[in-house]
Amino acid sequence: MPIRCTCPHCSEATDVADHYAGQTVHCSHCGKVIAVPLSDGDSVPDDGDVRPRRGPRRWSTCLMVLLGCLFVMMVIALMLPPVGAPREAGRRVQCKNNLQRIGLAMRNYEQAHGCFPPYFIPDENGKPTHSWRVLILPFLGEDRLYKQYRFDEPWNGPHNKELASRMPAVYRCPTYAAMSLSDEATNSLTSYAMIVGPHAISGGPTPHKMSDVTDGLSNTIMVVECAGAGINWLEPRDLNAEEITNVRIGSGEYKNPPGGINSYHPGVANTLFCDGTVRAVDQSVGEKVLKGMLTIDGGESVSMDELR
């Protein structure tokens, strides 16, 4: 409906379309700027501003659009995985690669010496003095470090203890390092331990040959994650199969017994089998199945369906 407005300059009346309400237009008679009232009969002060005036802003519409955008962004954020999830997945893969390298070194040692390495070499009194982790250094590409190690003194002797801080990266799980647990005191702590005991891959200074693993290489665990065990990589100390009854995940803490399969990975721990394969175990694996995988000649029936 047209709005009638009177020009204050020439006093002539002009009909203006209602969509010009609240704006300024030019008088059709004298051409000067006049203000169009909001409705017929209303007036808009003439402040001399010749710019077109906008109508009322639709704040409610803008607010609804903004809220809608925020809702969509929240839905998308909930659908995306946590920021740290892809990184942890990569660290778990790297941990698996570490164990695969250790397994390859073990098998190369077996081909060179006709047996797997013993988990320790004793001194003249039978006391564990040197670790298998030192023995396989040449097969990990660490010849220089191996040559600097002295077998005429214990692993923690005055010369050898200086090598503790030079632990090869392959002996540390990357998740352990990422948790900011590594400092000068823990740089020498390994994340991996051999399964040892009378019927394990190593019972002490006497090594086992591949043919001794009558339960099958693919059914027998050789090395596991041991987060929180506090084992120096040079130390001839590992995990006794008879003391392992379950799998602990994520805490890195040991109570009783003082050892076991443990990792800082959410939900699983990586384990290296005698055939060089790496499989993940979790807390759902039964004690009977677990015990069967820790022995080389127990004759147990092991189901790989419980492993990932």
84-105, pLDDT tens digit by residue? 566 778 888 999 999 999 999 9
> Is position 110 within any domain?
yes
Do 248 and 183 lie in one domain? The reply is yes
pLDDT at position 260: 77
Are 238 and 194 spatial neighbours (Cβ–Cβ below 8 Å)? yes
Do 41 and 175 lie in one domain? The reply is no
Q: Of 305, 146, 133, which is closest to residue 236 (Cα–Cα)?
A: 133
Size of the chain in residues: 308
pLDDT at position 108: 97
Do 113 and 30 lie in one domain? The reply is no
Angle, CA 275 vertex, CA 271 and CA 277 arms, to 5°: 45
> Is position 221 within any domain?
yes
Which tokens belong to 75?
């839905």
> Is position 192 within any domain?
yes
> Is position 293 within any domain?
yes
Do 44 and 158 lie in one domain? The reply is no
- Amino acid, single-letter form, for residue 147: K
Do 254 and 150 lie in one domain? The reply is yes
Mean pLDDT of 280-307: 79
> Is position 75 within any domain?
no
Q: How many structural domains are present in the chain?
A: 2
Q: How confident is the model at residue 66 (pLDDT cuts 50, 70, 90)?
A: confident
Q: Using the Cα atoms of residue 133, residue 136, residue 137 and residue 139 in order, give the sign of their dihedral.
A: negative
Angle, CA 96 vertex, CA 233 and CA 140 arms, to 5°: 50
Q: Check whether 111 has a pLDDT greater than 70.
A: yes
Do 15 and 105 lie in one domain? The reply is no
What DSSP designation does 22 have?
T
Do 176 and 43 lie in one domain? The reply is no
- Domain coverage including residue 32: 3-58
Q: How confident is the model at residue 263 (pLDDT cuts 50, 70, 90)?
A: confident
Do 98 and 160 lie in one domain? The reply is yes
> Is position 78 within any domain?
no
**Range list of H helices, the chain:** 59-79, 84-113, 132-135, 143-148, 174-178, 287-294
> Is position 64 within any domain?
no
Do 159 and 237 lie in one domain? The reply is yes
Mean pLDDT estimate for the chain? 81
Mean pLDDT of 104-119: 96
Which of 15, 36, 58 terminates a domain? The answer is 58
Least confident of 63-67, 137-141, 206-210, 303-307: 303-307
pLDDT at position 85: 60
- Model pTM? 0.69
Do 113 and 19 lie in one domain? The reply is no
Residue with structure tokens 């006049």? Answer: 34
pLDDT at position 154: 97
Do 101 and 47 lie in one domain? The reply is no
Q: How many percent of the chain have pLDDT more than 70?
A: 77
Do 155 and 296 lie in one domain? The reply is yes
Least confident of 24-33, 122-131, 211-220, 259-268: 24-33
Q: Check whether 257 has a pLDDT greater than 50.
A: no
User: Is 263 or 100 the better-scoring residue by pLDDT?
Assistant: 100
pLDDT at position 14: 75
> Is position 71 within any domain?
no
